[in-house]
Amino acid sequence: MADTERDGHRPAFNQAFADHGLPYHWDVPTYGRLLAVTGGQRRLERFLAEQGHPDPVGASHDLHRTKTEYFREWVHSGPVRCRPGIDTLIADLRQAGVRCAVATTGRQTWVEPLLDRLIGLGSFAAVVTGDDVANLKPAPDSYLTALDRLGLPATDALAVEDSPPGLAAARAAGLACLVVPSDYTRGADFTDAIAVRDGFDELDATACRKLVSD
């Protein structure tokens, strides 16, 4: 629903570099390549080691702590915005009587405030975060928990994802999955998706229902 990596985590990392007097700046393409390393602190540690930085483990810890402070502040008021069309789609789904839920690997401390600012928490019948499950995506735990809270079988729901791990998680939970790629995942393999769309402005409640029924 929002490109938190590009518009939230990435600029927060850059601000942390500036605060710590380091000459690094991750532009959009660079950060996309760095996402191959999962976990923000591990990403930092690997990057600093490649730069020949002394004590990359200790430095990555300090930098990540600063970055997290900025990100949490920006969740409440900052650069992260809805992807175009997502707020209209959710409003259309709700008007059509379709319940919406969130299943994310993000932490509750920032996920719920961000959802509340962007969409409104009342728009969602369930919100499942990384704090609610034992295994993160591509494991199916978050989707299985969301289905349980909604009281729905997988055959009556549609997952919407933007990445291969998210698609894998949805399929492992037995869900049909629509993919709307982000800037970082365009061109990835989405063979198992029921459909791939360029943007949320191509979707409405009728289109989503048709994908489930088909």
Q: Provide the CATH number for the domain around residue 119.
A: 3.40.50.1000
Do 161 and 120 have their domain in common?
Answer: yes
Does residue 192 lie within any of the structural domains? yes
Q: Please report, for residues 73, 141, 161, 174, the alpha-carbon distance to residue 179 in angstroms, rounded to integers and kept in the order given.
A: 29, 19, 5, 15
Residue 38 pLDDT > 90: no
pTM above threshold 0.95: no
> Among 88, 102, 185, which residue's Cα sits nearest to residue 145?
102
| Residues paired with 103 in a beta bridge | 128
Last residue of a domain, one of 54, 76, 98: 76
> Among 83, 129, 85, which residue's Cα sits nearest to residue 108?
129
Does residue 130 lie within any of the structural domains? yes
Mean pLDDT, the chain, rounded, equals: 93
CATH number at residue 43: 1.10.150.240
Task: Please give the residue range of the domain that contains residue 27.
Answer: 4-76
Instruction: Report the range of poorest mean pLDDT among 3-17, 71-85, 141-155, 178-192.
Output: 71-85
Tell me how many domains the chain contains: 2
Residue 190 CB partners (closer than 8 Å, separation 6+): 164, 167, 179, 181, 196
